[in-house]
Structure 1
């Protein structure tokens, strides 16, 4: 009876892309940003440890709740390079991000309420508008088209 084929501990970028559903271009970007790592073969081809699949899943899940890649990278920095995110790691990341997610929710609710007031107001006044110019901050900079002068 033939032996079953050994499961490779490494994946090519094409295999990682196919298995994760993430385009190879995004995987290369993640690598440039330090979110995932690879080793190079003698022919300079990338080889990813199998645990990278879980890292990519973590990255995508984190992005789906609005976490920026810089924040995701900070949390991934707690893991050794070839270690997959564990359940405990996910719980720790969630705890780290709860405060930030709650702050974002509060900010979005404030923006929604201000936007609703603006639509109801209909003033279109840059002096009075709490959405476009809260506290008339632009007026303190002097007269003129301040928004048009910004780079």
Structure 2
């Protein structure tokens, strides 16, 4: 296969370890932009291997697909990040990663007092609901439902 023909989706899946359905999902989410050959089949750039690798790494960092889409949209011509881009992106993500690490450390340090609770709205909860402040936001596990703690 000539490079100019692009990669079929099966080859891209084989190179990245992703299922074809995952690649199609990422495409539907606007993270990949294949083209169609004369026969109507999807074709991908070789750079999409790196792009998909970036997506998988960013997800491991805890970024959502909309966040990843925003990062990738900041790159010109739909290309993958260069080392210079990655340094800029990494600097921007550092705060996100530090906050995630802090949350995980708090979870680890307070886990024994929370096992079995499940509701995260009891007055004794040390993780998310000190002094039962969540009750002012409504009933149920407010922070699990998407409310943010007032910090």
Query: What band does the TM-score fall into relative to the shorter chain?
Result: 0.7 to 0.9
TM-score (norm 2): 0.75
**2:138 aligned with 1:135:** no
Contact 1:12 1:48 in 2 (8 A): yes
Q: Determine the C-alpha separation between the residues in 2 that align with 1:55 and 1:99.
A: 23
TM-score (norm 1): 0.75
Instruction: State the partner residue of 2:111.
Output: 115
Q: Determine the C-alpha separation between the residues in 2 that align with 1:76 and 1:45.
A: 24
Instruction: State the partner residue of 2:21.
Output: 25
Instruction: State the partner residue of 1:38.
Output: 34
Q: Secondary structure at the match of 2:44?
A: strand
Q: Structure 1: which 5+ residue stretches go unaligned? A: 120-124
Instruction: State the partner residue of 1:56.
Output: 52
**2:140 aligned with 1:147:** yes
**2:76 aligned with 1:80:** yes
Q: Secondary structure at the match of 1:49?
A: coil
Q: Structure 2: which 5+ residue stretches go unaligned? A: 116-120, 146-151
Q: Determine the C-alpha separation between the residues in 2 that align with 1:76 and 1:138.
A: 36
Contact 1:39 1:46 in 2 (8 A): yes
Q: How many pairs does the alignment contain?
A: 139
Alignment root-mean-square deviation, CA = 2.9
Q: Secondary structure at the match of 1:22?
A: coil
Larger radius of gyration: 1
Q: Determine the C-alpha separation between the residues in 2 that align with 1:81 and 1:7.
A: 19
Q: Secondary structure at the match of 1:85?
A: coil
Instruction: State the partner residue of 2:3.
Output: 7
Pair 1:39–1:137, CA change in 2 (3 A): same
1:44 Cα shift? 2.8
